[in-house]
Amino acid sequence: MMDVETLQLLRLARTGDQAALGELVLKYQSMVFATAFRRLRNRNTAAEVTQDVFIQMLRKLPQLRDDNLLEAWLRKIAVRLSINRAVRQPRERVGEETALDGARARGATPLDWILAREDAQHLREGLDRLRALDRETLIAFYFEGRSLQEMSDQFASPIGTIKRRLHTARIRLRETLSELQMVG
């Protein structure tokens, strides 16, 4: 269930209130960006898709039938636009920033970027080796930024169970990463 303040912002945004629309963008932009980045693995492209999602939200807001489904609706738009972008630009190496882009974006040296890239690849390999439930739990919490309550709703499980799953999944990921470190 969406909080009363967000419902009010949504109603105001439907009437053309720019401030309310701005508040909604601020509230949901990190979730939309995380959703796009998870699929595209490129910060610049994910940022472009995030902007496109909110432009589409502005145009299609009257089509949203249930205000309580705003977050799911935005996530669905982000997924669809990310897939479209990946299909439309396959040669653009979706999922890989150049070393120069990464270094510029973070003010880091190319070596820092390469090490961070290796860590991210190592993490992805570890996540891929986990059971589906462990992987989905970690991704929902850490990459999609979902709250325990949102995860409880998503997985149809009590919050205590979600906390236990997170704890167990973190331990399994740590063990998997240690094994990968020994092998690699």
- Do 54 and 103 lie in one domain? The reply is no
CATH code of 143's domain: 1.10.10.10
d(CA 71, CA 7): 12
Domain end, chosen from 71, 92, 113, is at 92
- Do 76 and 22 lie in one domain? The reply is yes
- Do 176 and 111 lie in one domain? The reply is yes
- Do 61 and 33 lie in one domain? The reply is yes
Q: What is the pTM of this model?
A: 0.52
CATH code of 83's domain: 1.10.1740.10
- Do 85 and 18 lie in one domain? The reply is yes
Domain of residue 36, residue span: 4-92
User: Is residue 76 predicted with pLDDT exceeding 60?
Assistant: yes
Q: Which of 103-112, 132-141, 163-172 has the largest mean confidence?
A: 163-172
The per-residue DSSP string of 94-129 comes to TT---HHHHHHHHT--HHHHHHHHHHHHHHHHHHHH
Total structural domains within the chain: 2
Strands (E) in the chain, as ranges, are none
**Which of 24-28, 71-75, 152-156 bottoms out in mean pLDDT, i.e. has the lowest?**
152-156
Domain end, chosen from 92, 121, 145, is at 92
Q: Which residue has the higher pLDDT, 125 or 143?
A: 125
Q: Which residue has the higher pLDDT, 104 or 157?
A: 157
Average pLDDT (37-54) is 89
Q: Is 47 helix (H, G, I), strand (E, B) or coil?
A: helix
Write down the pLDDT at residue 5. 93
